[in-house]
Structure 1
Amino acid sequence: MDIDWAALGSVFGVSLSATVLLVTLFTLGIVGLSKHEAATEQGDGGTSQAEGRGGATLARTGAYASFALCAAAVAYGIYLIVS
Protein backbone atom coordinates (compact mmCIF):
# COMPACT_ATOMS: atom_id res chain seq x y z
CA MET A 1 0.00 0.00 0.00
CA ASP A 2 1.40 3.33 -1.09
CA ILE A 3 0.10 6.68 0.16
CA ASP A 4 0.23 9.63 -2.23
CA TRP A 5 1.20 12.30 0.28
CA ALA A 6 1.00 15.13 -2.27
CA ALA A 7 -2.62 14.28 -3.09
CA LEU A 8 -3.45 13.93 0.60
CA GLY A 9 -1.91 17.33 1.32
CA SER A 10 -3.80 18.85 -1.58
CA VAL A 11 -7.13 17.49 -0.34
CA PHE A 12 -6.34 18.75 3.16
CA GLY A 13 -5.49 22.24 1.87
CA VAL A 14 -8.61 22.53 -0.27
CA SER A 15 -10.82 21.25 2.55
CA LEU A 16 -9.32 23.68 5.04
CA SER A 17 -9.69 26.60 2.61
CA ALA A 18 -13.30 25.74 1.78
CA THR A 19 -14.16 25.41 5.47
CA VAL A 20 -12.62 28.78 6.35
CA LEU A 21 -14.38 30.42 3.39
CA LEU A 22 -17.81 29.03 4.32
CA VAL A 23 -17.46 29.97 7.99
CA THR A 24 -16.32 33.47 7.01
CA LEU A 25 -19.24 33.96 4.62
CA PHE A 26 -21.75 32.76 7.20
CA THR A 27 -20.20 34.98 9.88
CA LEU A 28 -20.36 38.02 7.58
CA GLY A 29 -24.02 37.26 6.98
CA ILE A 30 -24.76 37.09 10.71
CA VAL A 31 -22.85 40.33 11.34
CA GLY A 32 -24.70 42.07 8.52
CA LEU A 33 -28.08 41.02 9.89
CA SER A 34 -27.15 42.15 13.40
CA LYS A 35 -26.04 45.55 12.06
CA HIS A 36 -29.34 45.81 10.21
CA GLU A 37 -31.25 45.01 13.39
CA ALA A 38 -29.24 47.56 15.39
CA ALA A 39 -29.86 50.27 12.79
CA THR A 40 -33.57 49.43 12.67
CA GLU A 41 -33.89 49.59 16.46
CA GLN A 42 -32.23 53.01 16.48
CA GLY A 43 -34.91 54.21 14.09
CA ASP A 44 -32.65 54.56 11.04
CA GLY A 45 -34.54 52.07 8.92
CA GLY A 46 -32.32 52.85 5.99
CA THR A 47 -34.12 56.07 5.04
CA SER A 48 -31.85 58.73 6.52
CA GLN A 49 -31.36 61.71 4.20
CA ALA A 50 -27.70 62.10 5.20
CA GLU A 51 -26.85 58.50 4.28
CA GLY A 52 -28.96 58.14 1.17
CA ARG A 53 -30.50 54.68 1.49
CA GLY A 54 -28.71 54.19 4.80
CA GLY A 55 -26.42 51.65 6.35
CA ALA A 56 -29.23 49.31 7.32
CA THR A 57 -30.12 48.50 3.73
CA LEU A 58 -26.49 48.01 2.79
CA ALA A 59 -25.95 45.67 5.76
CA ARG A 60 -29.02 43.61 4.88
CA THR A 61 -28.02 43.36 1.21
CA GLY A 62 -24.48 42.28 2.13
CA ALA A 63 -25.84 39.69 4.55
CA TYR A 64 -28.15 38.22 1.93
CA ALA A 65 -25.30 38.13 -0.59
CA SER A 66 -23.08 36.33 1.93
CA PHE A 67 -25.77 33.77 2.66
CA ALA A 68 -26.39 33.27 -1.07
CA LEU A 69 -22.68 32.64 -1.71
CA CYS A 70 -22.57 30.24 1.22
CA ALA A 71 -25.60 28.34 -0.10
CA ALA A 72 -24.10 28.24 -3.60
CA ALA A 73 -20.86 26.78 -2.27
CA VAL A 74 -22.75 24.12 -0.32
CA ALA A 75 -24.91 23.30 -3.36
CA TYR A 76 -21.78 22.97 -5.51
CA GLY A 77 -20.25 20.63 -2.94
CA ILE A 78 -23.36 18.45 -2.94
CA TYR A 79 -23.30 18.47 -6.76
CA LEU A 80 -19.68 17.26 -6.71
CA ILE A 81 -20.52 14.46 -4.30
CA VAL A 82 -23.57 13.28 -6.24
CA SER A 83 -22.04 13.37 -9.71
Structure 2
Amino acid sequence: MGIDWGTLAGVFGVSLGITVVVVVMFSLGLAAWARAGHGEPAPDRSPGRHQKVASVAAVLCFAACLAVAAFGIDLIVPA
Protein backbone atom coordinates (compact mmCIF):
# COMPACT_ATOMS: atom_id res chain seq x y z
CA MET A 1 0.00 0.00 0.00
CA GLY A 2 1.52 3.26 -1.12
CA ILE A 3 0.58 6.88 -1.10
CA ASP A 4 0.15 8.68 -4.40
CA TRP A 5 1.75 11.97 -3.37
CA GLY A 6 0.78 13.75 -6.58
CA THR A 7 -2.91 13.03 -6.05
CA LEU A 8 -2.67 14.00 -2.39
CA ALA A 9 -1.02 17.30 -3.35
CA GLY A 10 -3.75 17.88 -5.95
CA VAL A 11 -6.50 17.33 -3.40
CA PHE A 12 -4.74 19.66 -0.98
CA GLY A 13 -4.36 22.34 -3.65
CA VAL A 14 -7.99 22.17 -4.75
CA SER A 15 -9.19 22.21 -1.13
CA LEU A 16 -7.03 25.22 -0.33
CA GLY A 17 -8.16 27.03 -3.46
CA ILE A 18 -11.87 26.44 -2.83
CA THR A 19 -11.44 27.53 0.80
CA VAL A 20 -9.82 30.79 -0.27
CA VAL A 21 -12.56 31.39 -2.87
CA VAL A 22 -15.35 30.82 -0.32
CA VAL A 23 -13.73 33.10 2.26
CA VAL A 24 -13.23 35.85 -0.32
CA MET A 25 -16.80 35.52 -1.63
CA PHE A 26 -18.21 35.66 1.89
CA SER A 27 -16.08 38.71 2.71
CA LEU A 28 -17.22 40.45 -0.46
CA GLY A 29 -20.80 39.59 0.44
CA LEU A 30 -20.41 41.13 3.88
CA ALA A 31 -18.83 44.26 2.41
CA ALA A 32 -21.60 44.61 -0.16
CA TRP A 33 -24.25 43.99 2.51
CA ALA A 34 -22.79 46.76 4.66
CA ARG A 35 -22.48 49.09 1.68
CA ALA A 36 -26.16 48.47 0.88
CA GLY A 37 -27.07 49.86 4.29
CA HIS A 38 -28.14 46.65 5.99
CA GLY A 39 -25.72 47.24 8.84
CA GLU A 40 -25.79 50.42 10.86
CA PRO A 41 -27.69 53.18 9.11
CA ALA A 42 -25.61 55.80 7.35
CA PRO A 43 -27.35 59.18 7.35
CA ASP A 44 -25.17 60.60 4.56
CA ARG A 45 -26.37 58.11 1.94
CA SER A 46 -29.69 58.32 0.17
CA PRO A 47 -31.35 55.10 -0.97
CA GLY A 48 -30.86 54.51 -4.63
CA ARG A 49 -29.59 52.28 -7.37
CA HIS A 50 -26.19 51.71 -5.75
CA GLN A 51 -27.81 50.20 -2.67
CA LYS A 52 -29.91 47.87 -4.81
CA VAL A 53 -26.86 46.75 -6.78
CA ALA A 54 -24.93 46.19 -3.54
CA SER A 55 -27.83 44.14 -2.12
CA VAL A 56 -27.97 41.97 -5.23
CA ALA A 57 -24.19 41.49 -5.17
CA ALA A 58 -24.31 40.49 -1.51
CA VAL A 59 -27.08 37.96 -2.11
CA LEU A 60 -25.19 36.49 -5.08
CA CYS A 61 -22.00 36.16 -3.03
CA PHE A 62 -23.85 34.44 -0.19
CA ALA A 63 -25.66 32.17 -2.66
CA ALA A 64 -22.32 31.17 -4.21
CA CYS A 65 -20.97 30.28 -0.75
CA LEU A 66 -24.09 28.27 0.00
CA ALA A 67 -23.83 26.44 -3.33
CA VAL A 68 -20.21 25.47 -2.69
CA ALA A 69 -21.06 24.24 0.82
CA ALA A 70 -24.06 22.27 -0.43
CA PHE A 71 -21.98 20.68 -3.19
CA GLY A 72 -19.32 19.69 -0.66
CA ILE A 73 -21.90 18.11 1.63
CA ASP A 74 -23.41 16.31 -1.37
CA LEU A 75 -19.97 14.87 -2.19
CA ILE A 76 -19.37 13.72 1.37
CA VAL A 77 -22.79 12.30 2.31
CA PRO A 78 -23.75 9.24 0.29
CA ALA A 79 -27.18 9.33 -1.30
TM-score range, shorter chain: 0.7 to 0.9
Structure 1 residues without counterparts, runs of 5 or longer = 47-53
Alignment partners' CA distance in 1, 2:43 and 2:16: 37
CA-CA distance at 1:3 after TM superposition: 1.5
Alignment partners' CA distance in 2, 1:40 and 1:65: 23
- The equivalent residue for 1:67 is 62
Alignment length (residue pairs): 76
The answer to whether the 8 A contact 1:39-1:56 is kept is no
Structure 2 residues without counterparts, runs of 5 or longer = none
What are the superposed Cα offsets for residues 1-53 of structure 1, whole Å, 9 maximum, x if unpaired?
Answer: 4221011101101100110110011001000011111786434111xxxxxxx
Alignment partners' CA distance in 2, 1:29 and 1:71: 12
Tell me whether 1:56 sits opposite 2:54 in the alignment: no
- The equivalent residue for 2:12 is 12
Tell me whether 1:28 sits opposite 2:28 in the alignment: yes
**1:10 is matched by which residue type in structure 2?**
G
TM-score norm. by structure 2 comes to 0.86
Change (3 A) 1:41 1:69: farther
CA RMSD of aligned residues (A): 1.7
TM-score norm. by structure 1 comes to 0.82
Which is bigger in relative contact order (C-alpha 8 A, separation at least 6)? 2
